[in-house]
Structure 1
């Protein structure tokens, strides 16, 4: 979702991400991974599930107003991320803030109210469902996590100790993140290997070993390690002594083992190809270490009057904040416990942990997995300072001139279906006038066909199947290359995907001057296919010159922005990231030269590897 919310075409870079089959697999996989006792969270899977549901809602007539615009779709998908987190913990405020920090690079304030309405609705529906089902869950009426610290859980003089706790957990998180990156890179290399034994190792033996290791390390140490949910560990968040099970050897042994087990197993589990999250494991690992820190203070310095349970709560939030680089973890912690008296030490610990972990080159859990998985994520890209837009421009451009033929208009509409098409003054000057909607061009073509008594307009526009003597035509070829695959937003191919198809299709033989020409961009061959079966009269009429602006059907809309061929890729990167666009036209003194697409920008970055 971090990648998709930057504006990329999901069906081009992440095919199948929004499929209903993916939804089913995600739900079943989440049940199996959590039920198997693996050390995984669930917020990542919940966000994905809510995003798939939102995607299919957007394709219904009820949401046609939103689905017609990219920004509208992305705003509701961002709201779905907030619902996924808020419905998991019944924390609407933290859910919205967490989705903003983790999934968004630039957040539109116009989406703020949508996210809050969605998050509150999700939390209300969660509690309503639990009440109607007569559930005994604490989420029905009270805070999820019970705490008991008394009236004064901390003194102002303990704030430096909470800062020290946060800094220590930040260092431990840095070590864990390095281990996670190494494990993820190793598994990635094994999956890409062509040797069968390596694939068997990573797909079958590796998950089995991890499952056995999780079962062993959460059972052998003692009863205290058997529970892997935050509900069963509420004993850590009180001012009372720990239960007897924690004293099988000593409470220091139990707390040390529990924190070490979760910090070790988390990188092993979340890098498997299963639905996961990181919030709950980091919360438990941080809580165990925080309680250990508090118990040590209470034993060595009893005059301080430290409350070990308060340090456990601060440690839980601090470790989660360091792992996700999200301050909103502190807000979620306060919401699920209702312990507002701890707001100051919790935020101090979280900020100290984040500051310490930011000193290293390791990134958050989510960004690390994005980089290792070669996800198309713009904000993490880096570019050579000397590279400019001219180095990655797509010269094979689809455009029309102000005076052109109907055959050329048909060709442009076939190549860029449902998109705006650039229009230039003439072939000589190439001065860019603006863009014309393909819907307007189709209306113009239909009017021309009617005025001249020509038939088969829908077939020529590609709106209906076209048959020919050979059974092969330009229209049927377009159907093959640009058919709607599952996973796209609103079922419409983006400009980025369309140019990818046009530029990577089979190429014609080498031309001595211009080099190889993509087959779908060869005007001569494509016009020959398009005109197959036309009569001599129809061929003559469709090759007569017409003025696109005649009759007021086609409206030339000015472009809000173009870039120069000398614009640095760093500046192009900022434009694409902030505006969430997937293409931008390149002009030189007003003359259209080409187009820069998302694919070209991604492939020119140093942190992206094309699959």
Structure 2
């Protein structure tokens, strides 16, 4: 059963059962269909279904984490046994090994597209590229279940990136319902819906609709159409409301509150503390550049070193992943370095955001709060770089958010130790609130790693307070600006490591602004003459791997349009399998392609049948007669805008309508980088 079959069954059960009992053609039927096919209903379904899945996955992963922690730390059965520390250690390490291994194997065998954050691939898709199998039900199952296991293992991984992936899959599957069949071939509508799904994925993770929309725009879009703004907000608000309502109904919440509620004073900082907040932003930018560099090295590490001398790279990579899990879980053992190392991330963030000193909590006192915070910051800095590189679904926002909060809290505790009675200013005393420093550090470091200003808005929605709006904004701006100058964002770094198609951003200060299309284009090697034969097209397909081929006139090579590779292969299959049947469209509807493309092309080339020497009947194929084309004098900045706005992977260069060259997305990116 395919994903389409599943969604058609759900659709029939929920909507058609009611509609079919009404008279055909009645006003009520038309009104119901009009409502069900509206943007509002589609976006509501997207937000609600994503939020329900997010809440369920949170419940599962939280249960896996807390049960393991409570079993090891507070189990009376284990406490009464001899050699309890050895047994506790073995159980503590065995749990993440089992869950991480299950997540890796599940992801590997079901869909490798679920590996990693998912945001780099979504950004590539929104630019017009296609990643086979990325938005399918198999990828949905692999990502959702694999993410539960990965987060439940206790490793420092988040869920915001994979959940953006999940939301985009849900959006794609919703569009496969019979209700929305008129939108399936509308690439612009699909792109707008996927863009809204990105906002839903973030808002359903943090219950932050405003920050979720802004964050999704910053990390996925080069140019964002304003007409799509309301879609993102409506879907994000729908998802975040449902997400928090379920927390209120089923998770012992007193009311609908922020995820990490803070209770800072009305005047939580003195003006003189702004200098310290600026320093937190500067160091966060430096640490973010170091983190991205470390992560890139970690990703390349298994490719350069074979730790186990195993010939099979798949087994070697699996053993390497297990080694990483064992080392991290061993160092997180509560009875080794301190009980704070084994705390779940949510509990750690709650304690770091507390307005009182951590000296009042025994869990951070060994050997002292400064050493404990520094050790937690240093180890989780390294742990996160290794964990998010493992082959399972893993987001990076929550881990770097925690790292930044730890660094900010360390600075706050130092300030509290230096000024225990507060800072005197104009005969008034401003109390030091170390939790405020943690909020600033979390916002600054996560903003620097992801290169997003909207992280500040996410922090305000997460904490439910905007008392630190000025220090947060200042620290975020400094951290983001410094990180921009030193390294690409985490997501851009992953795009480069995965060698995905990508369009780098350029500013008005770009040195190559004087270049034109004639200087960066390359000559068109493969094109289709309007009088080309089937055999000639077969040779063309065999010797190239383009997805679209330009169609030109015979004499002047004027650009007529483009034809997809799939359409050309289907025409050749039609000639091979049914040479006497000319109705190509009915053939496609009658049967699936039973022959592989390679065998069909090979057969048409080697055949002496006159049918393959016939000229291609252009009425059999769908021609895009409006491809994006420019002249040789078009400036590079305008070309960049066309790629970003039109979301295409190639632009043709013409001179008086004559095709003379082509510029691809990858080639433009290479020109900009160089």
Q: What is residue 510 of structure 1 aligned with on the other side?
A: none
- CA shift, 1:230, in A, is 2.5
- CA shift, 1:54, in A, is 1.2
Moved more, 456-465 or 256-265: 456-465
Bigger helix fraction: 2
- CA shift, 1:465, in A, is 6.8
Q: Confirm whether residue 186 of structure 1 aligns to residue 301 of structure 2.
A: yes
CA distance in 2, matches of 1:189, 1:607: 26
Q: What is residue 60 of structure 2 aligned with on the other side?
A: none
CA distance in 1, matches of 2:241, 2:585: 52
Say which SS state the counterpart of residue 585 (structure 1) adopts.
strand
- CA shift, 1:566, in A, is 7.4
CA distance in 2, matches of 1:18, 1:590: 37
- CA shift, 1:564, in A, is 4.1
Q: What is residue 449 of structure 2 aligned with on the other side?
A: 323
Q: What is residue 328 of structure 2 aligned with on the other side?
A: 214
Which of residues 496, 502, 527 in structure 2 aligns to 1:371? 496
Instruction: Report matched runs for 1:13-52 at 5 Å.
Output: 16-52=133-169
Instruction: Report matched runs for 1:493-532 at 5 Å.
Output: 531=611
CA distance in 1, matches of 2:211, 2:377: 25
Say which SS state the counterpart of residue 346 (structure 2) adopts.
coil
Q: Deviations over 1:512-541 (max 9, x none)?
A: xxxxxxx98x7xx79x76837xxxxxx9xx
Question: 1:379–1:577: 8 Å Cα contact kept in structure 2?
Answer: no
Q: What is residue 563 of structure 1 aligned with on the other side?
A: 630
Q: What is residue 161 of structure 1 aligned with on the other side?
A: 276
Q: What is residue 312 of structure 1 aligned with on the other side?
A: 438
Q: What is residue 428 of structure 1 aligned with on the other side?
A: 555
Say which SS state the counterpart of residue 269 (structure 2) adopts.
coil
Question: 2:292–2:489: 8 Å Cα contact kept in structure 1?
Answer: yes
Q: Confirm whether residue 171 of structure 1 aligns to residue 286 of structure 2.
A: yes
Structure 1 pair 26–298 and aligned structure 2 pair: CA distance change class (3 A): same
Instruction: Report matched runs for 1:227-246 at 5 Å.
Output: 227-242=343-358, 243-246=361-364
CA distance in 1, matches of 2:622, 2:467: 62
Q: Deviations over 1:219-256 (max 9, x none)?
A: 22211222132244312222223212211211111111
Q: What is residue 55 of structure 2 aligned with on the other side?
A: none
Say which SS state the counterpart of residue 320 (structure 1) adopts.
helix
- CA shift, 1:201, in A, is 6.8
Unaligned 5+ segments in structure 1 are 446-453, 467-474, 484-501, 507-518, 533-538
Q: What is residue 79 of structure 1 aligned with on the other side?
A: 196
Instruction: Report matched runs for 1:258-297 at 5 Å.
Output: 258-297=376-415
Q: What is residue 650 of structure 2 aligned with on the other side?
A: 583
Q: Deviations over 1:270-305 (max 9, x none)?
A: 111111111111111111111110111121234423
Structure 1 pair 195–577 and aligned structure 2 pair: CA distance change class (3 A): farther
- CA shift, 1:200, in A, is 5.6
Structure 1 pair 300–40 and aligned structure 2 pair: CA distance change class (3 A): same
Q: Confirm whether residue 89 of structure 1 aligns to residue 206 of structure 2.
A: yes
Question: 2:521–2:661: 8 Å Cα contact kept in structure 1?
Answer: no
CA distance in 2, matches of 1:103, 1:217: 35
Q: What is residue 481 of structure 1 aligned with on the other side?
A: 597
Say which SS state the counterpart of residue 167 (structure 2) adopts.
helix
Which of residues 129, 134, 154 in structure 2 aligns to 1:8? 129
Structure 1 pair 330–390 and aligned structure 2 pair: CA distance change class (3 A): closer
Which of residues 471, 474, 493 in structure 2 aligns to 1:345? 471
CA distance in 1, matches of 2:372, 2:417: 16
- TM-score, with structure 1 as normaliser: 0.74
Q: What is residue 69 of structure 1 aligned with on the other side?
A: 186
CA distance in 2, matches of 1:194, 1:17: 32
Q: What is residue 45 of structure 2 aligned with on the other side?
A: none
Q: Deviations over 1:397-423 (max 9, x none)?
A: 23537xx99x99x99xx99xxx99977
Q: Confirm whether residue 300 of structure 1 aligns to residue 418 of structure 2.
A: yes
Structure 1 pair 593–27 and aligned structure 2 pair: CA distance change class (3 A): same
- CA shift, 1:565, in A, is 6.0
Question: 1:431–1:592: 8 Å Cα contact kept in structure 2?
Answer: yes
Structure 1 pair 576–239 and aligned structure 2 pair: CA distance change class (3 A): closer
Question: 2:520–2:671: 8 Å Cα contact kept in structure 1?
Answer: no
- TM-score, with structure 2 as normaliser: 0.67
- CA shift, 1:575, in A, is 2.9
Question: 1:291–1:308: 8 Å Cα contact kept in structure 2?
Answer: yes
Moved more, 226-235 or 205-214: 226-235
CA distance in 2, matches of 1:284, 1:577: 33
Matched residue count? 521
Q: Confirm whether residue 458 of structure 1 aligns to residue 573 of structure 2.
A: no
Q: Confirm whether residue 135 of structure 1 aligns to residue 260 of structure 2.
A: no
Q: What is residue 396 of structure 1 aligned with on the other side?
A: 526
Q: What is residue 254 of structure 1 aligned with on the other side?
A: 372
Which of residues 261, 264, 277 in structure 2 aligns to 1:149? 264
Q: What is residue 469 of structure 1 aligned with on the other side?
A: none
Question: 1:184–1:369: 8 Å Cα contact kept in structure 2?
Answer: no
* Greater RCO (Cα-Cα under 8 Å, separation 6 or more): 1
Question: 1:47–1:80: 8 Å Cα contact kept in structure 2?
Answer: yes
Q: Deviations over 1:97-122 (max 9, x none)?
A: 11001111111111111111110111
Question: 2:502–2:665: 8 Å Cα contact kept in structure 1?
Answer: no
Q: Deviations over 1:464-485 (max 9, x none)?
A: 679xxxxxxxx969x63399xx
Q: Confirm whether residue 103 of structure 1 aligns to residue 220 of structure 2.
A: yes
Say which SS state the counterpart of residue 492 (structure 2) adopts.
helix
- CA shift, 1:41, in A, is 1.0
Q: Deviations over 1:401-457 (max 9, x none)?
A: 7xx99x99x99xx99xxx999776x5223334x54999xx99xx9xxxxxxxx9833
Question: 2:211–2:457: 8 Å Cα contact kept in structure 1?
Answer: yes
CA distance in 1, matches of 2:520, 2:362: 70
Say which SS state the counterpart of residue 653 (structure 2) adopts.
strand
Moved more, 226-235 or 18-27: 226-235
